């Protein structure tokens, strides 16, 4: 497919936020292009919504099928959707931005006046001993296999962790006849007490009813073990057993598949590499970009929407996508401030409705420190196989933050570019130094934020200055 | 490890490490591996440890496989095609063949 | 109240790390001051060459100093391995400077010939290889390569591990590493130097400025002219590939971990560490002409870093005439020169006098250049 070389707005990500943002922009006459890595629209929450083999809608539930309407709205709005496209760079250019995109094995540079990042979330790292063994996956991965391919785990299956998605996956798997041996709940006992201050909002939110029914389905589906304080995956070449400690007692289970989940965190690699300011959010225990009420980041022309700007779920992401879209249309002069604000008013009401109750969820399912900050030989960086002890040892050498540590250990230099180790490393160093995570900081990302081939890079346009910087005939050394 | 729900749909013939397998049209390579009972798709270049797909959304890079002779493809992002050759990988890829006697 | 040392080394990169280690080795109570996690840090942006060929055109002393450094590199590597257990993966099998056109070849050979003919230059041998000869030596050389020059004195090392080893060895020898101590002013008070930092004052009988671009600010009050400017260099890092390249090249090397680095570029764009896609594209295109087999290999990272560049590109080593005990050490080849910095320069600093043979490296030569 030939990608147009320029557009008014480039949207990165075709999930809830990206689809909504693009629809708002395209509907008002902006040339809008949405780039997404997946083969079809929907992001992760609405993954495979146009092609899922699960025709019985009660399996995935109404929340999932809401996405169908959104995808339809997007399809009618007049934006261009480029699936299978990986955005690896966003740099400033004279007219706005130059987007580096890789599609079908070819890298191209696309010009855009404004950029909306809707890169969504990824699962929080869950570094337990043995988490790299084949047979250990995220609970989200199992859910994706169900949505995209109608595959259901069989054999001895254990879920472990905390957070609404974990119980949702248990419920969904049970609905299709999947057998789950047990669900090991790592939510610290008594944590509901720290969530209590937010309970009122939660009771008034759309999440209460959903939450209760999911928990009920999850309880019916399997044996629930609460207050799990230690967890290990054991095996040689692949997962064979799970060992856990709950209520002071240790137990071992033979297992074929271990599904881990302890919440989701914003995917910030692209915004970080662009230079958008970010801050540590202590409630969400993650770095989030700094944005205003429209999603505008600290880099003029770059707006961030959805879970990539802070976790709040699919409906909130959709609302924030609309706000980002309206803001972008306004920034390009096609909507005055008053009209923008009028259009935004009902969206803000939606947003308030769907962010109410999130504080309770964040507090209730706050992952325990023991599962966020590993020790000893537990692998922290999966790509480069760097252990927790190795990271701690560099702090003793005087490393004050993840970037110096990265240069000493290669931790964070693999293809995932810190997506699965960044938060763990920040918190490890923070605890070792007794300093706040926000001060310790995060890896500094550079382009490409996703790998591209040398051949693709070589085929990009060269410039005279670029050539002069590299080919130095007659110069000393 | 995984079973298929009945509504699956049409199949597409592929090979996995030389073995014939009827993949489901529309599935990713990584999903196909799970459907075929394959848990581990590679060994790492750092230590030789076995790895398999972990996140299914293009973030973890553990699902790397060789597809039609091209190494280090993220299996969870590539949809299966008729006749596709999927191969597990061992360690670092070969880019330039070093002749014997050289490292 | 200031904490007192024999020497304060200001700047914890490869230059400061090597000198601090050298001083600690001699029993000097040494403080190594450094900034925080995010800083300009030329040392994190290093290609890793220990490179001799081509160096010193315009200053024969520099060519000789570089050769000394290459001779001292194995000793430094051994010391570091023995004292810290870290193997910096130094290999000195000789290196190739590859040319992609006849014009490049001719220019290169002319340059090297002129270099070696300079009065006072310690000559070494170099080979000129045409494409066929190069292809016989190295696997996978592409058809578009014109040839290369080879010098047996060239080599490479793992620069990040070198930095880590220097820091470890420094600590093992009783040195004190002070990160988050960015120096903003250095002055003489009560017969010694006082370094004012955000985290308090450090006092020392001697002070060595190794703060890279920061030297420009810290130097003048001490009578040291650090005429340095930033020069951007970009590097492409490829994923691990099964070992195929045993020799370093001027612009491509395979690390001991199996990754492949592609450099190098030079451009003047101020304090700009952002990446230029077109520079990367040109680097990539040239690398593919040298090794077409890398076409499908993935770029995992690219980075840009700022070299610390003097007006003529040569190091500045200087002792202050107005404030004895203050030294300036700056260069853009912290890796190549590490052995000389640790084992030759540090002892001279400890002795309080760089010696007359270091005179060509003082910034006075730049007056001559300006006048010329």
Query: Residues B45-59: pLDDT tens digits?
Result: 999 999 999 999 999
Give A372-419 pLDDT, tens digit per residue: 999 999 999 999 999 999 999 999 888 999 999 998 899 999 999 999
- pLDDT over 60 (residue C163): yes
- Same structural domain for residues A242 and A130? yes
Cα-atom radius of gyration of chain C, to the nearest Å?
A: 21
Of A414, A453, A462, the CB nearest to C299: A453
pTM: 0.94
A28-68 pLDDT, tens digit each: 999 999 999 999 999 999 999 998 888 889 888 889 999 99
Option in A141, A148, A150 nearest B7 (CB): A150
Helix, strand, coil share (%) of chain B residues, nearest 5: 10, 35, 55
pLDDT in tens, A141-198: 999 999 999 999 999 999 999 999 999 999 999 999 998 999 999 999 999 899 988 8
Whether residue A30 is contained in a domain is answered as yes
d(CA A428, CA A434): 10
Contact flag B51-A134 (C-beta cutoff 8 Å)? yes
Q: Does A440 touch chain C (CB under 8 A)?
A: yes
- Which residues in chain C have their CB less than 8 angstroms from residue A418's CB? none
Q: Is residue A311 assigned to a domain?
A: yes
Look up residue A50 and give its DSSP letter. T
pLDDT at A2: 66
What is the extent of the structural domain holding A401?
373-440
Question: Would you say residue A449 lies in a domain?
Answer: no
**How close is the nearest chain B Cα to the Cα of C160, in Å?**
17
Q: What is the 3-state secondary structure (H, E, C) of C101-127?
A: CHHHHHHHHHHHHHHHHCCCCCCCCCE
Contact present, C149 and C126 (Cβ < 8 Å): yes
- Interface with A, mutate which of C165, C273, C284, C303 (most A CBs under 10 A): C284
Say how many domains are in chain A: 3
Q: What tokens does B16 get?
A: 């996995």
Residue B99 has a pLDDT of 65
Q: How far apart are CA C100 and CA C110, in angstroms?
A: 16
Whether residue A133 sits in one domain with residue A97: no
Assess whether A234 and A154 both reside in one domain.
yes
Q: What's A35's domain CATH number?
A: 3.50.50.60
Q: Which of A232, A262, A292 is the last residue of a domain?
A: A262
pLDDT band at B7 (very low <50, low <70, confident <90, very high): low
User: Tens digit of pLDDT for each residue in A409-464?
Assistant: 999 999 999 999 999 999 999 999 999 999 999 999 999 999 999 999 999 999 99
Share of chain A above pLDDT 70, in %: 99
pLDDT of residue C14 exceeding 80, the answer is yes
What is the CATH topology of the domain spanning C229-309?
D-Amino Acid Oxidase; Chain A, domain 2 (3.30.9)
Subunits with 3+ C-beta pairs closer than 8 A to A: B, C
| Residue C344 region by backbone torsions, left for phi larger than 0, else alpha for psi between -120 and 50, else beta | alpha
Domain range C3-51+160-227+312-371, CATH architecture: 3-Layer(bba) Sandwich (3.50)
How near does any CA of chain C get to the CA of A441, in Å?
Answer: 8
Give A37 to chain B, closest Cα distance, Å: 8
Under an 8 A CB cutoff, do C140 and B96 touch? yes
In which band, very low, low, confident or very high, does the pLDDT at C368 lie, cut at 50, 70 and 90?
low
Q: Judge residue B49's burial from the number of C-beta atoms within 10 Å of its C-beta, 0-12 exposed, 13-18 middle, 19 or more buried.
A: middle
How far is it, in rounded angstroms, from Cα A65 to Cα A81?
Answer: 20
**What is the C-alpha separation between A389 and A379, in angstroms, rounded?**
9
Going from N- to C-terminal start, the domains of chain C cover 3-51+160-227+312-371, 95-152, 229-309
Q: Name chain A contacts of C163, Cβ cutoff 8 Å.
A: 407-408
pLDDT category at B100 given cuts 50, 70, 90 is low
Shared domain for A297 and A318, answered yes or no, is yes
Q: Are residues A137 and A155 in the same domain?
A: yes
Q: Mean pLDDT over all residues of chain C?
A: 94
Q: Which residues of A touch B68 (CB under 8 A)?
A: none
> Using a CB-CB distance cutoff of 8 angstroms, which residues of chain C are in contact with residue B95?
241-242, 244, 260, 291, 293-294, 296-297
**Which of B95, B100, B102 would best serve as a mutation to test chain C binding (most C beta carbons within 10 A)?**
B95
Contacts of C277 in chain A (CB under 8 A): 89, 91, 98, 100, 109, 447, 460
**Is A461's CB within 8 Å of C285's CB?**
no
Q: What is the mean pLDDT of residues A110-118?
A: 98
Query: What's the confidence (pLDDT) of residue A371?
Result: 98
| Per-state percent for chain C, helix, strand, coil, to nearest 5 | 35, 25, 40
pLDDT at site C371? 53
User: Domains in chain B, please, with CATH?
Assistant: 11-90 (3.10.20.440)
Classify A54 in phi/psi space as left (phi over 0), alpha (psi -120 to 50) or beta: beta
- Taking an 8 Å cut-off on Cβ atoms, the answer to whether B95 and C241 are in contact is yes
Nearest chain C residue to A393 by CA distance is C168
Residue A470 domain-assigned (yes or no): no
Q: Which positions 78-97 of A are in contact with C (Cβ < 8 Å)?
A: 89, 91
> Looking at the structure, do residues A308 and A416 belong to the same domain, yes or no?
no
Does the residue A458 lie in any domain?
no
- To 5 degrees, how large is the angle CA A331–CA A332–CA A336? 65
ipTM summary value: 0.95
Say which of B7, B49, B62 has its CB closest to residue A53. Answer: B7
Q: What is the DSSP letter of A197?
A: G
Average pLDDT on C1-11 reads 89
Q: Do B102 and C244 touch (CB under 8 A)?
A: yes
Q: How far apart are CA C22 and CA C31, in angstroms?
A: 12
Asked if the bond preceding A346 is cis, omega within 30° of 0, the reply is: no
**Is the Cβ–Cβ distance between A123 and A475 less than 8 Å?**
no
Work out the pLDDT band at A221, boundaries 50, 70, 90: confident
CB contact under 8 A, C277 and A399: no
Note whether A187 and A280 are same-domain residues.
no
CB-based contact (8 Å) between C293 and chain B? yes
Partner-chain contact C278 A460, CB within 8 Å: yes
The answer to whether residues A147 and A200 belong to one domain is yes
Considering the domain architecture, whether residues A328 and A391 belong to the same structural domain is answered as no
Span of A205-219, A350-364, C88-102 with lowest mean pLDDT: A205-219
In chain C, whose CA is at the least distance from the CA of B74? Answer: C298
Is the CB of B31 less than 8 angstroms away from the CB of A151? Answer: yes
Do residue A397 and residue C168 have CB atoms under 8 angstroms apart? yes
CB nearest B56 (choices: A144, A237, A416): A144
């Amino acid at each position: 497919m030939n990608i147009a070389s320029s557009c008014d707005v480039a949207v990165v990500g075709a999930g809830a936020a990206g689809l909504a943002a693009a629809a708002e922009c395209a509907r008002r006459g902006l040339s809008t292009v949405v780039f997404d890595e997946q083969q079809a629209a929907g992001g992760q929450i609405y993954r495979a919504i146009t092609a899922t083999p699960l025709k019985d809608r009660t399996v995935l539930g109404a929340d999932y099928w809401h996405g169908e309407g959104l995808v339809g709205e997007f399809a009618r709005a007049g934006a261009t959707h480029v699936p299978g496209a990986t955005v690896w760079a966003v740099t400033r250019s004279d007219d706005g931005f130059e987007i580096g995109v890789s599609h079908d094995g070819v890298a191209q540079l696309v010009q855009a006046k404004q950029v909306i990042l809707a890169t969504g979330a990824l699962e929080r790292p869950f570094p337990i001993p043995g988490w790299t063994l084949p047979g250990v996956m995220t609970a989200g991965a199992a859910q994706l296999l169900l949505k995209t391919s109608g595959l259901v785990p069989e054999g001895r299956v254990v879920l472990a962790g905390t957070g609404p998605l974990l119980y949702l996956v248990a419920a969904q798997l049970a609905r299709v006849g999947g057998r789950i041996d047990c669900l090991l709940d790592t939510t610290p006992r008594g944590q509901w007490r720290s969530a209590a201050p937010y309970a009122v909002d939660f009771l008034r939110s759309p999440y209460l009813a959903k939450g209760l029914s999911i928990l009920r389905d999850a309880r019916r589906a399997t044996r629930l073990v609460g207050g799990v304080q230690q967890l290990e995956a054991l095996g040689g070449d692949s997962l064979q057993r799970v060992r856990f400690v709950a209520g002071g007692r240790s137990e071992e289970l033979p297992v074929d598949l271990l599904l881990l989940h302890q919440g989701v965190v914003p995917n910030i690699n692209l915004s970080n590499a662009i230079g958008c300011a970010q801050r540590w959010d202590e409630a969400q225990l993650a770095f989030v970009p700094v944005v205003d009420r429209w999603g505008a980041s600290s880099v003029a022309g770059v707006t961030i929407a959805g879970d990539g700007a802070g976790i709040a779920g699919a409906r909130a992401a959709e609302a924030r996508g609309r706000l980002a879209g309206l803001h972008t249309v306004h920034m390009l002069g096609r909507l005055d401030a008053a009209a923008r604000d009028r259009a935004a008013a009902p969206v803000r009401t939606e947003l308030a409705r769907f962010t109410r109750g999130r504080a309770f969820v964040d507090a209730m399912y706050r992952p325990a420190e023991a599962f966020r900050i590993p020790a000893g030989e537990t692998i922290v960086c999966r790509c480069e196989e760097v252990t927790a002890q190795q990271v701690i040892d560099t702090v003793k050498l005087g490393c004050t933050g993840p970037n110096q540590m990265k240069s000493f250990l290669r931790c964070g230099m693999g293809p995932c570019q810190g997506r699965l180790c960044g938060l763990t490393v920040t918190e490890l160093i923070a605890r070792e130094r007794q300093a706040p995570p926000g001060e310790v900081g995060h890896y500094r990302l550079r382009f490409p934020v996703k790998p591209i081939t040398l051949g693709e890079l070589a085929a990009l346009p060269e410039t005279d200055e670029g050539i002069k910087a590299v080919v130095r005939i007659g110069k000393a050394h | 490890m995984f079973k298929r729900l009945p509504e699956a749909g049409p199949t597409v013939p592929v090979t996995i490490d030389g073995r014939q397998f009827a993949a489901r049209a529309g599935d990713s390579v990584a999903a196909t591996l799970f459907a075929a009972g394959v848990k581990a798709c590679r060994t790492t270049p750092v230590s030789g440890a076995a790895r398999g797909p972990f996140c299914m959304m293009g973030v973890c890079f553990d699902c790397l496989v060789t597809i039609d002779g091209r190494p280090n493809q993220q299996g969870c992002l590539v949809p299966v095609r008729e006749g596709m050759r999927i191969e597990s990988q061992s360690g670092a890829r070969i880019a330039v063949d070093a002749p014997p006697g050289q490292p | 109240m200031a904490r007192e040392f024999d020497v304060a080394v200001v700047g914890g990169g490869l230059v400061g790390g090597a000198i601090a280690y050298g001083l600690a080795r001699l029993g000097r109570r040494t403080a190594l001051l450094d900034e925080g996690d995010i800083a300009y840090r030329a040392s994190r942006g290093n290609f890793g060459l220990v490179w001799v060929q081509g160096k010193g055109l315009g200053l024969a002393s520099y060519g000789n100093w570089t050769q000394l450094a290459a001779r001292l590199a194995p000793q430094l590597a051994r010391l570091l391995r023995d004292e810290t257990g870290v193997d910096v993966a130094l290999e000195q099998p000789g290196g190739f400077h590859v040319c992609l056109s006849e014009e490049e070849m001719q220019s290169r050979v002319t340059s090297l010939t002129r270099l070696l003919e300079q009065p006072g230059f310690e000559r070494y041998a170099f080979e000129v290889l045409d494409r066929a000869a190069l292809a016989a030596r190295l696997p996978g050389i592409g058809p578009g390569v014109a040839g290369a020059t080879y010098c047996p004195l060239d080599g490479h090392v793992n620069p990040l591990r070198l930095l880590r080893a220097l820091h470890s060895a420094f600590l093992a020898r009783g040195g004190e590493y002070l990160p988050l101590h960015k120096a903003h002013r250095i002055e003489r008070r009560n017969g010694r130097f006082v370094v004012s930092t955000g985290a308090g004052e450090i006092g020392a009988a001697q002070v060595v400025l190794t703060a890279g671009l920061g030297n420009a600010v810290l130097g003048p009050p001490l009578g040291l002219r650090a005429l340095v400017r930033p020069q951007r260099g970009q590097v492409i890092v490829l994923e691990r590939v099964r070992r195929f390249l045993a020799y370093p090249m001027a612009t491509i090397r395979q690390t001991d971990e199996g990754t492949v680095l592609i450099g190098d570029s030079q451009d003047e764009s101020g304090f700009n560490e952002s990446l230029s896609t077109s520079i990367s594209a040109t680097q990539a295109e040239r690398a593919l002409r040298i090794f077409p087999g890398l076409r499908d290999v993935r770029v995992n990272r690219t980075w840009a870093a700022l070299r610390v560049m003097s007006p003529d590109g040569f190091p500045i080593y200087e002792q202050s005439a107005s404030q004895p005990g203050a030294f300036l050490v700056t260069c853009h080849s912290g890796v190549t020169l590490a052995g000389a910095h640790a084992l030759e320069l540090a002892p001279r600093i400890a002795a309080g006098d760089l010696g007359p043979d270091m005179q060509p490296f003082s910034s006075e030569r730049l007056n001559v250049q300006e006048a010329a």
